[in-house]
Amino acid sequence: MGTNATSNTPQEFVMRVIGYVRSPYTDPAATPIQPVYTDGCEARVEILPEYEAGLRDLEGFSHIYLIYYFHRAKPAQLTLQPYLEDVEHGVFATRAPHRPNPIGFSVVRLVERQGNALIVEDVDILDGTPLLDIKPFVPRFDYREGVRVGWQEQVAEEAAQTRGRRLHPPEDS
């Protein structure tokens, strides 16, 4: 028998919170679903003092990835109805928060650094969200030509704009 490629991979592991996002969004139902729908919403990312040195040289980037824990997400669902459609899809074909590992990411505009805090815009993150990591957005690494976007190609732009700006999920989602 062959060796299982995951036999040495831990089934669970611990991540450390490096800070918290402070945003005006407190109600998931009134939070835009992606940064593109936020109309420039500003927030403060407060990094814990022990991680402040890790912010060095970040000021030179216009955009950053915030990687965070969906601390208020409902239990994982392997199939669900995403906010932009009225039909179900597999969770891994969506950006819905109800995931086996509730990890989110957003590309936000970095406005300025203030010591251990970052002022950012285009935030679609709930207030108090635990931050796991920050990475710089680098077009030479992050841009891809010839991409396909699956079922998203069928979503009308008008519907995406309406549903994306203010989320009003069905009672059971």
**Where do the domains of the chain lie, and which CATH numbers do they carry?**
19-165 (2.40.30.70)
Which segment, 33-37, 64-68, 89-93, is predicted with the most confidence on average?
64-68
Average pLDDT (102-126) is 95
The predicted structure's pLDDT at residue 12: 86
Rounded distance between C-alpha atoms, residue 159 and residue 99, angstroms: 24
pTM for the full predicted model: 0.79
Backbone angles phi, psi at 151, to 5 degrees: -60, -20
pLDDT > 70? residue 160:
no
The predicted structure's pLDDT at residue 134: 98
The predicted structure's pLDDT at residue 40: 78
Burial class (CB within 10 angstroms; exposed 0-12, middle 13-18, buried 19+) of 19: buried
Rounded distance between C-alpha atoms, residue 119 and residue 112, angstroms: 5
The predicted structure's pLDDT at residue 3: 46
User: In 81-137, where do the E strands start and end?
Assistant: 89-90, 103-114, 117-121, 129-136
pLDDT > 80? residue 170:
no
pLDDT > 90? residue 97:
no
In 49-121, which ranges are continuous DSSP H helix? none
The predicted structure's pLDDT at residue 61: 97
pLDDT > 70? residue 169:
no
The predicted structure's pLDDT at residue 28: 81
Asked if residues 124 and 32 have their Cβ atoms less than 8 Å apart, the reply is yes
**What are 131-159's pLDDT values in tens digits?**
999 999 998 888 777 766 565 566 556 66
User: In the chain, where do the E strands start and end?
Assistant: 19-22, 42-47, 63-69, 79-80, 89-90, 103-114, 117-121, 129-136
